[in-house]
Structure 1
Amino acid sequence: MPRGKRRAADTISDNMDHGQPKRARTSYTSIPTQQSSRRHIRAEDGFSQKRCLTWFQEYTSPDEPETLGPDGMEKFCEDIGVEPENIVMLVLAYKMGATQMGFFSQQEWLKGLTELDCDSAAKMVVKLDYLRSILNDPNSFKSIYRYAYDFAKDSDQRCMDILTAKAMLQLLLGKHWPLYPQFAQFLEQSKYKAINKDQWCNILEFSRTISIDLSNYDIDGAWPVMLDEFVEWLRLQRSQVTSTTSGSS
């Protein structure tokens, strides 16, 4: 959950691969060394809505007591030992039904953490592996992938800007789609400044169904023009490499 939208686009792709950060300053399974009495609550203790709300208020300000904002988000991530750009934070936001990147409302917090039976940092640390495991289910991953589009784009825009889109694609597909590096390169040199929801959803389907050699790609299929152009571009790149190799041998 980045501090802000622009920070997301700048840092996610540097810090993340699918499910695991490239560098983690804090162990995912450790509880912070500076523990309050709240953190001494045993993970097996029953869920308390009152305790959950008290925990939420540790991350809010008197001016906005029902909104956990970017500063509170950083402190929350520090308390549970997770980088803000970790994909597990996207899964948690999905569980909460959060509507804006970098923010949790009190209602969203209660919804998600009641379902997870979490009312303390200690309990959340225990749940992190479960949250990551949700990504291993193809249907759940598809739901989270689609959720990420509306969650990450600017609420007043119909499409996701290309910088945010590339960062989120790196986060979600970077380690699991063999053609992702080529697709990212294609986007870099393309005319596209934004990605719409139809394109976003079809990128996932393309990554799941089209083989790395493009042999099962149907030019008459119902893919968005963006993906037709990607295939044309990639085939051209490969033919140029083949020609260069043949000419030097």
Structure 2
Amino acid sequence: MVRPPSFCGVAPKRKAVGSPTSESAPKKRSTRVPVVYEDDSPPPPAPVKKTKSKSSMSASTSSKKKDKGKTKQKKEEVITISSDLSGEESDVVIEMPKKEGKAAPVKKNKSKVPAASTSTADKEKDKAAMKKQSSKVSKVSKASKARSLPFEDAFPAWFSQFAEEGEPDKMGGEGIEKLFEDMELSMEGAHPFILAYRVGAAPGTFGSFSRVDFKRTFQPFNIASSSTLSDWLAKAHDEIMGSVNEYNFRRFYAFVFPFLKNEGAKTIPGEMAVAMWGTVLAPKYPLAESFVEYAIAQGDKFKAVSLDVWTQMLEFCEAVQPDLTGWSEDDAWPSTIDAFVEWKKEKDAAAA
């Protein structure tokens, strides 16, 4: 067992515990040679000194034994301490033997396991955040580059990213999905229809956009990137869906039916009409949400919607409250709306 550095030099210092007589005792023992005196006088009585010397030697011997005992005891303590602190890097610290049973290193090792897993999870999150940030930076750099270029140079390269293969002047379904993904906007809401309305899409062109409409609409605003179009479209959405000015919304609502209707048809599929009412009417009018529930409950019976029903539905939602206040049997509503009123009355009565 290697002794701690602090143990070196302890034993010599402990010799000071004995009296100075312990150091002079060996000198007296070495001078026991008989002394010859010139005169015949008897020598001084030595036994007294010898007795003192023996007592001092005895005291010195006992003190040395005590010192040895103490030294031995200290050795045992140091050995116990050194075995207890074998894994530490700091100086020797005297501890009671009771503390030997502690298993602190084991606890430290156990606590490191979840910390490592947490660190791994944090690293994955950091990587994902960095990737997302890098994507945003890339989009911003592309947008700034597009702004720095003249519209005539930036627009063709931007639109061609979403154009159909073999038809450079048309953006089809896949291209529209890619555009909205690039703009980080959902296609589940009214945004695609508001975009079609603002670019002046022709009737019956649902599911596609033309290069001509985009260029005519966005050239005055110098919009030739997905990021700038996203900002522009978000403002247009708020102006139409969130504005108190019903004129903007009514014009947009009137645009949707011919845009959805196929060329030569007089109606639009009932499923399509119900989906659009849930998208553009229900967020503004609670009564429209109830009508959507009614139409879904009809199933295949709700086959098609005419322009008259489409137009009157907006009038009905504006004039009648969710509890049917404002409705009258004398009003000339389409039969589809009258059937809905009867269904809602029965439902409300059953719930009461």
TM-score interval w.r.t. the shorter chain?
0.7 to 0.9
Matched residue, 1:40: 144
| 2:324 matched residue in structure 1 | 214
Query: What whole-Å deviation, never above 9, does each CA across 1:60-107 have from its counterpart, x for those lacking one?
Result: 144111111111111111111112233122111101112322211111
1:151 equivalent in alignment to 2:259: yes
Aligned to 1:118, the other structure's residue is in SS state coil
Code of the residue aligned with 1:130 in structure 2: it is K
- Deviations along 1:38-59, one digit per CA (max 9) or x if unpaired, are 423376x686244223311121
CA distance in 2, matches of 1:63, 1:182: 45
Q: Distance in 1 between matches of 2:189 and 2:344?
A: 30
* Amino acid paired to 1:68: M
Deviation at 1:110, TM superposition (A): 1.4
Structure 1 equivalent of residue 269 of structure 2: 161
Structure 2 letter corresponding to 1:65: P
In the other structure, the counterpart of 2:233 is: 128
Distance 1:155 1:83, change over 3 A: farther
Shift of 1:130: 1.3
Who is 1:171 aligned against? 279
Q: Are 1:41 and 1:122, in contact at CA under 8 Å, matched by a contact in 2?
A: no
2:156 corresponds to 1:53: yes
Partner of 1:186: 294
CA distance in 2, matches of 1:39, 1:106: 19
Deviates more, 1:34-43 or 1:47-56: 34-43
**Structure 1 residue 234, shift from structure 2 partner:** 1.1
Q: Give the distance between the partners of 2:318 and 2:150, measured in 1 at CA.
A: 39
| Match 2:310 to one of 200, 208, 211 | 200
Normalising by the residue count of structure 1, what TM-score does the alignment of the two structures yield?
0.76
Gaps of 5+ in 1: 1-29, 243-249
State the alpha-carbon separation in 1 of the partners of residues 171 and 340 from structure 2: 40
Whole-Å separation in 2 of the counterparts to 1:132 and 1:46: 27
The 2-side partners of 1:187 and 1:174 are apart by 13
Other-structure match for 1:225 = 335
Unaligned runs of 5+ in 2: 1-133
Letter in 1 for 2:318: R
In the alignment, the residues of structure 2 paired with residue 176 and residue 92 of structure 1 have an alpha-carbon distance, to the nearest angstrom, of 19
> What percentage of residue pairs aligned between the two structures are identical?
25
| Map of 1:85 onto structure 2 | 188
Q: Does 1:118 align with 2:118?
A: no
Work out whether 1:66 is the aligned partner of 2:174.
no
SS of the equivalent of 2:139 reads: coil
CA gap 1:157/1:32 in 2 versus in 1, 3 angstroms: farther
- Note the C-alpha offset of 1:208: 0.9
- Structure number, greater radius of gyration: 2
TM-score, normalised by the number of residues in structure 2:
0.55
| 8 Å contact kept, 2:146–2:225 | no
- Alpha-carbon distance, 1:147 to partner: 0.9
Q: Are the aligned partners of 1:69 and 1:102 in contact in 2 as well (CA < 8 Å)?
A: yes
Alpha carbon RMSD of aligned pairs, Å?
A: 2.4
Given that 1:31 and 1:122 are in contact with CA atoms closer than 8 Å, whether structure 2 keeps it comes out as no
The answer to whether the 8 Å contact 1:202/1:223 transfers is: yes
User: For the structure 1 residues 128 and 148, does the alpha-carbon distance in structure 2 shift closer, same or farther, using more than 3 Å as the test?
Assistant: same
Q: What is the CA distance between 1:216 and its match in structure 2? A: 1.5
How many angstroms apart in 1 are the aligned matches of 2:150 and 2:315?
39
Q: State the Cα deviation string for residues 135-188 of structure 1 (Å, max 9, x = none).
A: 123111111111111222333532111111111111101222112332112212
* CA distance, structure 2, for counterparts of residue 215 and residue 37 of structure 1: 55
Highest RCO, 1 vs 2 (Cα 8 Å, sep ≥ 6): 1
What is the CA–CA distance in structure 1 between the aligned matches of 2:201 and 2:164, rounded to whole Å? 19
Partner deviation per Cα, 1:100-146 (whole Å, 9 max, x = no partner)? 22211111111222354312123213213311122123111111111
**Which residue identity does 2:159 align to in structure 1?**
F
Paired letter, 1:101: F
